[in-house]
């Protein structure tokens, strides 16, 4: 038993584990089993893949169609069945083609979690186009960068996003067609999405149609998800149909292992209702969540914006079985004083990843809701799921994000990337498997640095134990994760440096009980100049998304401490906010 497990008050049930992880692996991947694997060549690298994974997103869409009148999405008073969703996808896909969108063209998508989102996403994917989900929290200039960099030919967005994008129209000359949803009238130069497919509650009245006939191979490109690099310049991770389809079985793998470890048979797939609070423009919600939901016929409940009391109301009303996304969500559900006023007994699982979490959270989820906790690790470059840790294994190792799924491999490498480190030693985490993206869109140098012989250099510092459980200990990349949102220090620092009074700046993460961490800045002003904390925070807020704005700014009289290479010694700065 793990010492931390004892510390949070967990003792393993008698007879647990009933199987070793190796025994579970052999049982679940045997010939003919659901998780059977085969080795194929992907870009010159022999790679284990799930033999039963869907070949592409067209196959996933057809699986969704088969769920018929089962509810797919619920948003406020809008309820869309799988049949109605498929009708809208087929109609919009044909419309995209009529506007000249062909295989390999980019279709950008910028909106909050709405029923239109999975319609537009699949309409692009099934015709072989590359969908570019843009961060709906981005500012106008950030959204304009994504449109220009991807060379998007067509954009689907909501009115709120268009209001941010419109002033920058001259910056993305490749864009030919713009569909705006939820606008009372089409803004100048755009068309209303509703004029093509109607409102969500009208999708069921659309004429039944087949998907346009386009041949799509598993390793064809299908997404560009933007992730910032340490330079602060967003990079587009180029994903394939195989990357997204892999997650369907990867998500089920950890659940099946947990059952065998408990001495039970892996449960048959059951259609459930999930509260989706993570934005669909993140790979966690899109790849790890949306793909599996469609394959299984789950119902996805969307919220206009996160609010714990609204979440309690939805859990009670819709009998929601699962939720989560980042630790923030779980903490707020646990600690909110209104929780006792609602029937939350339908909750069975609360899973999260994407941000540091306290071991205490594992116990509190189970004590408060009777729900099993789950955790995992992945990143934009891995199209989400690489490891999974849940149920008793998670209680036993509450600081681990779990071992890799069967088709993935992890290794810990030295800083220079030449030597594999022994068990228990900390180094850079490298990952390999069919979920790893092709590389970065139009960034050959960055691709060559990060993707090596099928492996992705994650930039995370980690260690592996003797059973292969992974422990993320720090981030080599200069990044802060605030409630699941990545904040790249250099991007914010560069904005601060643009202020005429600032001559030195550093962004660090400071602990936060529910968000994991928040950004804080340390600033040195040029002699004879002045700037207040409020002024600098407003300066950043005018130029970057609000979640990137430092919550605190400390001013220092001297320039910031540096090492011999001129790199700021950030580990010494946290004391300024203690």
Query: Which CATH number characterizes residue 348's domain?
Result: 3.40.50.12780
Using CA atoms, how far apart are residues 129 and 123, in angstroms rounded to an integer?
9
d(CA 54, CA 72): 19
CATH assignment of the domain containing 75: 3.40.50.980
One-character DSSP codes across 471-511 = EEEEESSSEEEETTEEEEHHHHHHHHHTSTTEEEEEEEEEE
CB 45 within 8 A of CB 453: yes
Question: How far is residue 142's CA from residue 140's CA, in Å, rounded to a whole number?
Answer: 5
Q: Which domain holds residue 508?
A: 479-577
What's the helix, strand, coil split of the chain in %, to 5?
35, 25, 40
Give SS3 for 431: strand
DSSP H helical segments within 227-303, as ranges? 241-262, 283, 291-296
Please state, in angstroms and rounded to a whole number, the distance separating the CA atoms of residues 75 and 115: 7
74: in domain: yes
| HEC readout, 96-116 | HHHCCCCCCCEEEEECCCCCH
DSSP classification of residue 422: P
Domain boundary among the residues 164, 182, 216 is at 216
- CA quadruple 227, 58, 110, 376: dihedral sign: negative
Give, rounded to a whole angstrom, the gap between the first and last alpha carbons of the chain. 34
> Rounded CA gap, 495 and 478, in Å?
16
In a domain? residue 68: yes
- CATH assignment at residue 503: 3.30.300.30
Model confidence, pTM: 0.89
Are 505 and 468 in the same domain? no
- 485 with 560, same domain: the answer is yes
* Cβ count near 139 (within 10 Å): 19
158 and 117 share one domain: yes
Are 256 and 387 in the same domain? yes
List all residues 6 or more positions away from 91 whose beta carbon is below 8 Å from its beta carbon: 196, 197, 206, 207, 209
HEC letters along 331-361: HHHHHCHHHHHCCCCCCCEEEECCCCCCHHH
Question: How far, in Å, CA of 340 to CA of 372, rounded?
Answer: 19
Per-residue DSSP letter, 55? S
According to the model, what pLDDT value does residue 230 have? 46
Domain count, the chain: 3
Structure tokens at 50: 């799930």
Do 517 and 375 share a structural domain?
no
Q: Does 228 map to a domain?
A: no
453: left (phi > 0), else alpha (psi -120 to 50), else beta?
A: left
Q: Are residues 347 and 460 in the same domain?
A: yes
Say what the pLDDT of residue 477 is: 67
**Last residue of one domain, picked from the residues 475, 490, 525:** 475
Say if residue 285 is in the same domain as residue 430.
yes
What is the Cα–Cα distance from 427 to 443, expressed in whole angstroms? 26
**Tell me, what's the pLDDT at 424?**
96
Residue at a domain's end among 427, 448, 475: 475
Please, what are the averages of pLDDT over each run of 10 residues along the chain (578 residues)?
68 93 97 98 98 98 98 98 99 98 98 98 99 95 96 98 98 98 97 98 98 98 83 86 97 94 93 95 95 98 94 98 85 87 95 71 87 90 94 90 97 95 95 98 96 95 95 77 85 87 91 91 92 97 95 93 70 88
Residue 460: count of CB within 10 angstroms of its CB: 20
Residues 295 and 307 grouped into a single domain:
yes
């Amino acid at each position: 038993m793990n010492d931390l497990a004892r510390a949070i008050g967990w003792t393993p049930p008698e007879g647990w584990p009933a199987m070793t992880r190796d025994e579970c692996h052999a049982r679940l991947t045997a010939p003919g089993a659901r998780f059977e694997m085969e080795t194929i060549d992907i870009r010159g690298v022999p790679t284990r893949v799930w033999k039963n994974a869907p070949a592409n997103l067209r196959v996933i869409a057809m699986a969704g169609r088969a769920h018929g009148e089962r509810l797919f999405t619920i948003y406020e008073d809008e309820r869309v069945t799988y049949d109605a969703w498929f009708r809208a996808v087929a109609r919009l896909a044909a419309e995209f083609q009529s506007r000249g969108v062909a295989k390999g063209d980019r279709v950008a998508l910028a909106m909050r979690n709405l029923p239109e989102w999975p319609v537009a996403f699949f309409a692009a994917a099934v015709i072989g186009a590359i969908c570019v989900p843009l961060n709906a929290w981005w500012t106008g200039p950030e959204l304009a960068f994504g449109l220009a960099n991807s060379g998007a030919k067509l954009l689907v967005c909501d009115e709120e996003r268009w209001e941010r994008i419109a002033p920058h129209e001259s910056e993305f000359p490749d864009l030919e067609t713009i569909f705006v949803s939820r606008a009372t009238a089409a803004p100048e130069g755009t068309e209303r999405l509703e004029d093509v497919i109607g409102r969500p509650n009208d999708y069921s009245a659309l004429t039944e149609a087949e998907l346009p006939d386009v041949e799509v191979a598993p390793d064809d490109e299908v997404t560009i998800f933007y992730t910032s690099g340490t330079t602060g310049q967003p990079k587009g991770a180029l994903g394939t149909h195989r990357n997204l389809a892999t997650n369907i079985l990867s998500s089920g793998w950890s659940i099946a292992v947990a059952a065998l470890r408990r001495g039970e048979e892996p449960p048959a797939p059951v259609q459930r209702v999930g509260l989706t609070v993570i934005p669909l423009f993140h790979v966690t919600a899109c790849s790890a969540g949306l793909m599996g939901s469609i394959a299984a016929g789950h119902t996805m409940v969307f919220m206009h914006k996160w609010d714990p009391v609204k979440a309690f109301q939805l859990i009670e009303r819709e009998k929601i079985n699962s939720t989560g996304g980042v630790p923030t969500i779980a903490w707020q559900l646990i600690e909110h004083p209104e929780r006792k006023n609602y029937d939350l007994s339908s909750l069975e699982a609360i899973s999260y990843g994407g941000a540091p979490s306290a071991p205490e959270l594992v116990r509190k989820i189970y004590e408060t809701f009777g729900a099993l906790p789950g955790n995992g690790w992945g990143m934009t470059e891995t199209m989400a799921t690489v490891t999974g840790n849940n149920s008793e294994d998670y209680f036993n190792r509450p600081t681990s994000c779990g071992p890799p799924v069967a088709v993935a491999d992890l290794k810990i490498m030295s800083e220079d990337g030449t030597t594999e480190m022994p068990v228990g030693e900390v180094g850079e985490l490298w990952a390999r498997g069919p979920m790893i993206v092709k590389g970065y869109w139009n960034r050959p140098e960055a691709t060559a640095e990060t993707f090596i012989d099928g492996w992705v250099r994650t930039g995370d510092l980690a260690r592996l134990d003797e059973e292969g459980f992974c422990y993320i200990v720090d981030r080599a990349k200069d990044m802060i994760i605030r409630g699941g949102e990545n904040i790249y220090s250099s991007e914010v620092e560069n904005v601060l440096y643009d202020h005429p009074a600032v001559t030195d700046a550093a962004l660090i993460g400071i602990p936060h009980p529910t968000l994991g961490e928040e950004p804080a800045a340390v600033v040195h002003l040029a002699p004879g100049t002045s700037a207040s904390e409020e002024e600098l925070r407003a300066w950043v807020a005018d130029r970057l998304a609000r979640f990137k704005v430092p919550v605190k700014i400390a001013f220092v009289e001297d320039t910031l401490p540096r090492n011999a290479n001129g790199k700021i010694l950030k580990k010494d700065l946290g004391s300024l906010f203690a």
